[in-house]
Amino acid sequence: MVTLILAILYCVVLIHGKHFNGGTIHWEPIDPYANSSTVSISITQTYSWAYPTISCATNVPISTTGRSSANTNLTCIADCSTDGGYSTKPINILTDCISTSSSLGMMTSERSTNITLSAGAHFYLSYMGSAWIPIDDPSQSGLQWSITTFIDIRLRDDGFINTPPVASFVSPQYTVYTCSPLSHTTISTTIETSGTIASTLSYGTRQAIDECGGICYPNGLPNGTTLSNCTLSFTGLVPNTWYAVAIQVEDFINESSTTPMSSVPIQFLIYVMPDPFCSQPPVIIPYVDCMEVLTDIQKSFSIYAMTMCDPNNVDIAEFVITTGISEASLGPRKPIKLDQKSYA
């Protein structure tokens, strides 16, 4: 099993934004050992929105006043003749609010839907929309998004149905252009079991299968941006500028295979901010005690942070913590080893 960890490095975080901030679509078999004429899978959609532009409620985004017509379905865009009957019972893109941050102006929504498909189904499923906020320099307005996942419930060579990686994210991400001329979005891999499933990252493409809409590399990112050895490196030297990133996580049966068993989308925004009033990031005071955590038992503890500037002028508003990206195994999921954190 491979665990992928998404960590964003930055100097300080604030929040602005409007409407759609990105998302990911994940699927997994209800029973990876299933060997019948039909297979049930769970499709989970997770999206990030500007808050309170989009309301925290059920059935996001149509529950927001003025957006009652914003519903659509996840659409098969390739290999639809082998969609296992999906086209006869498509899933809509409506999700339910699971968290908000008033101080950071962001809202996350999510929904999982079970669907039964014919055994051996394999096809590409996409959420398509338009009107990303103006991105890049010079800015481009009204660009489309296409968040595309590859569903494949054919049996693997070892006789099981594959379980794809799981991605969690925070969008937007913020960086200060004078903090460092080079900013990094780093994704690393950790091998956890023998007989590993190899995973790679690549930019979304529009070659035959549209994985990225209007933000396909190099559009939407600064010149010179690279994705190498699981590290996205970009130079953001233009303040007050938005960038959009579309990445696909693909997993393979082994290191030598070139045929992905799944493809999981991750799309998010990055904003390059001008000089902050406080140039020093806060200090997070580590939790030093040994803490015992039991399975399925909620555990509460405190994390402390201290501003390095005048607290009368600058204060810490909120923490945002998510898991990273993990490769799911056939058994119970293993814990994420590193979190990504934002602060304001």
Rounded to the nearest 5 percent, the helix, strand and coil shares of the chain are 5, 45, 55
Domain ranges of the chain: 2-281+317-343
pLDDT band at 233 (very low <50, low <70, confident <90, very high): confident
Q: Say which DSSP state 228 is in.
A: E
Q: Which of 55-59, 111-115, 263-267, 295-299 bottoms out in mean pLDDT, i.e. has the lowest? A: 295-299
pLDDT in the model for residue 1: 36
Other CB atoms within a 10 A radius of the CB of residue 289 amount to 5
Q: What is the mean pLDDT of residues 9-37?
A: 72
Cα 91 off chain centre by: 20
Least confident of 5-14, 64-73, 142-151, 159-168: 5-14
Contacts of 263 (CB under 8 A, 6+ apart): 124, 148, 149, 150, 164, 211, 248, 249, 250
The secondary structure of 213-225 as a DSSP string is GGG-TTTTS-TT-
DSSP 21-45: EEEEEEEEES-TT--SSEEEEEEEE
- Taking residues 163-168, what's their average pLDDT? 80
pLDDT in tens, 90-123: 999 999 999 988 887 889 999 999 999 999 999 9
Predicted pLDDT of residue 157: 83
Average pLDDT estimate for 255-269: 86
Ranked by mean pLDDT, the top range of 197-201, 237-241, 301-305, 316-320 is: 237-241
